[in-house]
Amino acid sequence: MNVAEVLRAVATFSWLIALAVIVIAVVRATRGASGLKGSGGLVAGAVALAAILTTVSSGLVFVQPEERGFVISAIAPGGYREQALQPGLRWVIPFAETVVMYPISRQTYTMSIAPSEGAIAGDDSVTARTADGQEVFIDASVIFAIDPAEIVNVHIRWQGRYIDELIRPQARGIIRDAASQFGVEELVTSQRDAFKEHMRSEMATKLADNGLVLIDFVVRNITFSDEYAASVEQKQIAEQLAQQAAFTVEQRKQEAEQARQTAQGQADAAVIAAKGRAEARVVEAKADAEALALIAAVLSANPDLITYQYVQKLAPGIQVMLVPSDNPFLLPLPTLTPTTNP
């Protein structure tokens, strides 16, 4: 509970009571002099009480933990106290000193292209030119706080104007200066961090020189001009088409390589099959030669064996054979001697 505010409310209420007492006294005075004399003490007491409460409430100041108070004094050298009021219930000289409160918590000042996001309604983005002459629109937020030790200096230099006359112009100037040192593509790719760090460093120095502390400098968004955005889109489309074409070429290469490997495999298989057949024929020929050699050896030792085999192959019912008269016998037939009947 803010005791100073409660006391001010009580003081205000006491003045209402004093006014009511005065009205009653005047009404009673219209009815006779004795009524006015009897009410004089009550009126004086009510006015005195209201004056005392007002004086005390004017001297009490409650400073919130997130605030510091700058004291403007009619009796102090220079017209102000050299030390700011710290959090808690504090006392100042009534009617001779007044207190201006300053927040020391974090504050955010936003400049945005979106009408409802920035501190100023409408398009409040920062228009800047890059090193290669492209126009960009930058949304940014400055997160800062007043240095508690610099409250007195902040009031002397800026009073309540530090946002409009320090934060805003410095931030916009630093953004434009930083953007001019980078190419448009660098701002959104390889040099984005360097761009942000450059602005943060410059802004921190400017604020520190004026009693403020920079918490962060946030680049919210970078928007390109319509012409550059269209060229970027066309470039991206061309790159995508090139990538698609390269992919198609690579796919065709892979298909050709696959076909070549398939053909090579088939050729290798044909060669292997041919070699197998050739080797089989060699083996078969060797077997036939060996078989013939064995047959020849057997026939050499048994010349009548072939005749025997020939006869065995004849049908069992054959009794007469006709042979041509002018051709020799294929097989040597034994000489048959006719037998005589007794």
Check residue 333 and give its pLDDT: 52
In a domain, 329, yes or no: no
| C-alpha closest to that of 307 among 329, 327, 325 | 329
Judgement on whether residues 69 and 160 belong to the same structural domain of the protein: no
In a domain, 220, yes or no: yes
Q: What is the CATH number of the domain that holds 158?
A: 3.30.479.30
For residues 241-247, give the mean pLDDT: 78
Check residue 33 and give its pLDDT: 52
Answer with the one of 102, 123, 152 that is the final residue of a domain.
102
In a domain, 11, yes or no: yes
pLDDT higher than threshold 50 for residue 6: yes
pLDDT in tens, 43-97: 777 788 888 888 888 888 899 999 999 999 988 888 999 999 999 989 899 889 9
Confidence of residue 336 (pLDDT cuts 50, 70, 90): very low
Least confident among 77-86, 196-205, 272-281:
272-281
pLDDT higher than threshold 50 for residue 172: yes
Judgement on whether residues 265 and 296 belong to the same structural domain of the protein: yes
Judgement on whether residues 91 and 114 belong to the same structural domain of the protein: no
pLDDT higher than threshold 70 for residue 305: no
Judgement on whether residues 16 and 63 belong to the same structural domain of the protein: yes
Confidence of residue 296 (pLDDT cuts 50, 70, 90): confident
Least confident among 83-87, 94-98, 178-182, 264-268:
264-268
In a domain, 117, yes or no: yes
Task: Give the tokens for residue 304.
Answer: 């009548």
Q: How many domains does the chain have?
A: 3
In a domain, 86, yes or no: yes
pTM (whole model) above 0.75? no
Report the mean per-residue pLDDT for the chain: 82
Check residue 269 and give its pLDDT: 82
Check residue 140 and give its pLDDT: 94
Calpha distance 43→24 (Å, rounded): 9
Check residue 99 and give its pLDDT: 93
Q: Is residue 170 a contact partner of residue 201, using CB atoms and an 8 Å limit?
A: no
Least confident among 6-20, 26-40, 61-75, 105-119:
26-40
Judgement on whether residues 26 and 92 belong to the same structural domain of the protein: yes
Check residue 231 and give its pLDDT: 62
Judgement on whether residues 184 and 266 belong to the same structural domain of the protein: no
Judgement on whether residues 98 and 113 belong to the same structural domain of the protein: no
Answer with the one of 51, 71, 102 that is the final residue of a domain.
102
Judgement on whether residues 172 and 65 belong to the same structural domain of the protein: no
Check residue 275 and give its pLDDT: 85
Least confident among 20-24, 209-213, 266-270:
20-24
Higher pLDDT, 217 or 307: 217
Other C-beta atoms lying within 10 Å of the C-beta of residue 37: 12
pLDDT higher than threshold 90 for residue 236: no
Dihedral over Cα of 237, 239, 243, 245: its sign: positive
pLDDT higher than threshold 80 for residue 181: yes
Calpha distance 199→178 (Å, rounded): 6
- Exposure pattern of 162-177 as b/e (b: 16+ CB <10 Å)? beeebbbebbbebbee
Q: How many CA atoms lie within 13 A of 168 on its CB side?
A: 13
Judgement on whether residues 181 and 144 belong to the same structural domain of the protein: yes
In a domain, 182, yes or no: yes
Least confident among 97-111, 271-285, 296-310:
296-310
In a domain, 13, yes or no: yes
For residues 255-279, give the mean pLDDT: 83
Which residues constitute the domain of residue 169? 107-224
Confidence of residue 1 (pLDDT cuts 50, 70, 90): low
Q: How many helices (H) and strands (E) does the chain have?
A: 9, 8
Least confident among 24-33, 146-155, 203-212:
24-33
Answer with the one of 102, 119, 136 that is the final residue of a domain.
102
Check residue 178 and give its pLDDT: 93
In a domain, 258, yes or no: yes
Largest CA distance in the chain: 212
Judgement on whether residues 114 and 170 belong to the same structural domain of the protein: yes
Judgement on whether residues 129 and 170 belong to the same structural domain of the protein: yes
Judgement on whether residues 165 and 261 belong to the same structural domain of the protein: no
Bridge partners for 144 per DSSP:
107, 214
